[in-house]
Amino acid sequence: MIINLITKANKAFQPICLMAFLLLTILSCEQDFVNIDSTLQGAQNFNTNKQEFPLLTYSKAYGEAQTNSVSSNLIGYFNEPIYGKTVASVVTQVTPTEFGPDFGNNPKIKSVKLNIPYFSTVIGDTNAAGITPHRLDSVFGNITASFKLSIYQSNYLLRELDPNSNFEDPQAYYSNAIQDLNINSQLGQLIFVDDKFFPRTTEVIVDQSDPENVVRAAPALNLELNKDAVNNDFWRDLLMDEDGNALPHLLNANNFRAFFRGLIFKAEPNADNPDGAHQIMLDFANTNANITINYTNENDDEEEVDQTYVLNFSGVRLNALENDFNFPLPNGNPATGDDKLFVKGGVGSAAIINLFNGDIENENGEMVPSEVFFKNKKDSWLINQANLTVFVDQASIPNNIDGKGEPNRLVLYDLKNNLPIADYFLDVNTINPDPNLSRTLYAEPLERDSNNRGVAYKFRITEHINNILKRDSTNVNLGIYVSTNVNLLFTDGTSLPNNSLTFESVEDEDDTTLDRVPTTSVLSPRGTVLHGSTTNVPENLRPKLEIFYTEPEN
């Protein structure tokens, strides 16, 4: 009796188990990034297939971009092999970390040291001498090729708030600051100059007072700013009067910034490398980025005691970019698309992607609008995976470009909402200290051939496509940008002047105005050229939208 009941229960339960298994499989397919070949194998009532859809692509130059909203800055002189030369300089405020200081009795300045860390990676074990080897990251060009680096006192007053908004909105400063603000006329006292500057990979010695325990820090732009009596007097006069008393402008940040308006880090070509050297990223947001003024004062026994006074780089800071491009960055044709897509960081351009642009053949052999065809599959298709692949135009890439010359990562962006697409947030390969290993499902690193030349970039856009099909989301224009770090994809206020770039959208009522660009693109001097979507491009090299789906058999 009991055995019969168990047997009947098993028979009744088997269909429920099968349905539950199929439901879980379907849900997993919809939510996870999976390969279609591994899904629903053995299912008898479903078909799995792939459909390619037409799209339209063209270039859009966005030009100058806001640069006082970024945490890191480029310095140097770089000749991008495709696009041409860019000089990157930095204008920055500095701020005391202590207000109303008492410098004590008979203060004397001993040294003034500037320290701004580079981005670097440890590449080996610490040796017997206590030295740890590092590799410098975020270097563009030849690190051993020098450029001229000068540091001046700035006479330009940077504002935090915009007077045109009645001082309610933050002030925006753009990459053309050298020309727009006439920065070259605002150079004050020359504080430091190196006609043949290049960064060093060695660690910075912080304290060697104990030879047995030398304190070191990661590689940095580490300079002494008072090598002569003139500069030594400059720093003393900035801080104290003849009797050693702190000057009134040290009472608060506003007073100090009005009196000492900051520094200008100016890069220029030199005689050794008139056609380009390199640019490197400086980590101004690092807690070790500062100017340390080492001084002594006397105690009651008239003995000298070591003291420090520190200035950091909080406040307004901007990157000024001067460009000498090989050709004007083009604006493409949004109606017909372009043969070539020009993608450039910095003062750059993006590739615009208009998905589902064109007709497709339906089941009856009729040509119908591809977006209409796709949306009609709302109740019958389960999207397993969707890929957007763009191919490098190798003929436009110089043969002598080294393997590191092409950008390793591009990013895909929602231009209407100024956000990454949904797949960015769902990538399980989330923030990794190495940006080349972060979010690699959403945006794969550059595929290269046997000669290390770029072939293609692939983006996983499954959730973005699902939103269009299942949730009636708008098919917005997408933008492809150069990236230095996919973890810095948010715009962070990186705006464009005049909000002047308007796109024709897929739907007439959904005009898109490009008024922001991702921070990661502004921070890159690199560029590439991709194949466009026109019929002039061989079919196998045109951008490709592939959708892998499952549907029940009729």
Please write the tens of the pLDDT for every residue from 174-184. Answer: 999 999 999 99
- What is the average pLDDT across 120-124? 92
Q: Are 143 and 278 in contact (CB under 8 A)?
A: yes
Q: Worst-scoring range by mean pLDDT, 69-83, 276-290, 394-408, 496-510?
A: 496-510
Q: Which of 4-18, 90-104, 483-497 has the highest mean pLDDT?
A: 90-104
Tokens of 234: 């400059």
pLDDT of residue 516: 81
pLDDT at 402: 55
pLDDT at 266: 98
Which residue bears the tokens 């380009």? 276
Per-residue pLDDT at 164: 87
Q: Does the pLDDT value for residue 229 go beyond 80? A: no
Tell me if residue 175 falls in helix, strand or coil: coil
- Could you tell me the pTM of the whole model? 0.86
Helix (H, G, I), strand (E, B) or coil at 518: coil
User: What residue type is assigned to position 102 of the chain?
Assistant: D
- Residue 60 has a pLDDT of 93
Q: What mean pLDDT, rounded, does the chain reach?
A: 87
Q: How far apart, in Å, are the Cα atoms of 63 and each of 67, 348, 479? A: 12, 5, 15
The predicted-structure confidence for 346-355, as pLDDT tens digits, reads as follows 999 999 999 9
Q: Return the pLDDT at 286.
A: 94
Strands 220-224 and 501-503 come out as unpaired
| Sequential DSSP letters for 440-507 | TTTBPPPEE-TTS-EEEEEEE-HHHHHHHHHS------EEEEEES-GGG-S-TT-B-GGG-EEE--SS
pLDDT at 491: 56
More confident residue, 512 or 287: 287
CB-count burial class (<10 Å; 0-12, 13-18, 19+) for 73: buried
Give strand pairing partners of 443: 459
pLDDT of residue 554: 62
Q: Does residue 513 carry a pLDDT above 70?
A: no
Integer Cα distance of 131 and 388 in angstroms: 46
Does the structure show a pLDDT above 90 at 449? Answer: yes
Q: Are 249 and 238 in contact (CB under 8 A)?
A: no
Percent of all residues in the chain with a pLDDT value above 70, rounded to a whole number: 86
Three-class secondary structure of residue 325 per DSSP? strand
pLDDT digits (tens, 9 = 90+) for 196-222: 999 999 999 988 888 888 899 999 999
Q: d(Cα 348, Cα 126) in Å, to the nearest integer? A: 41
What distance lies between CA 439 and its chain's CA centroid? Answer: 13
Task: State the pLDDT confidence band at 459, using cuts at 50, 70 and 90.
Answer: very high
Residue 293 is encoded by which pair of tokens?
């003024």
Contacts 24+ apart (CB under 8 A), 329-332: 329/59, 329/61, 329/63, 329/83, 330/59, 330/61, 331/59, 331/60, 331/61, 332/58, 332/59, 332/60, 332/532
pLDDT for 13: 34
Q: What is the pLDDT of residues 22-63, one digit of tens each?
A: 333 333 444 443 333 334 444 456 788 999 999 999 999 988
Higher pLDDT, residue 418 or 402: 418
| pLDDT average, residue stretch 470-491 | 87
Q: Say yes or no to pLDDT of 171 above 70.
A: yes
Over residues 446-468, the mean pLDDT reads 95
Q: Which pLDDT band, with edges at 50, 70 and 90, does 258 fall under?
A: very high
According to the model, what pLDDT value does residue 511 have? 57
With tokens 């979010």, the residue in question is: 439
Residue 252 has pLDDT above 90, yes or no: yes
pLDDT of residue 502: 53
d(CA 481, CA 423): 16
More confident residue, 553 or 74: 74
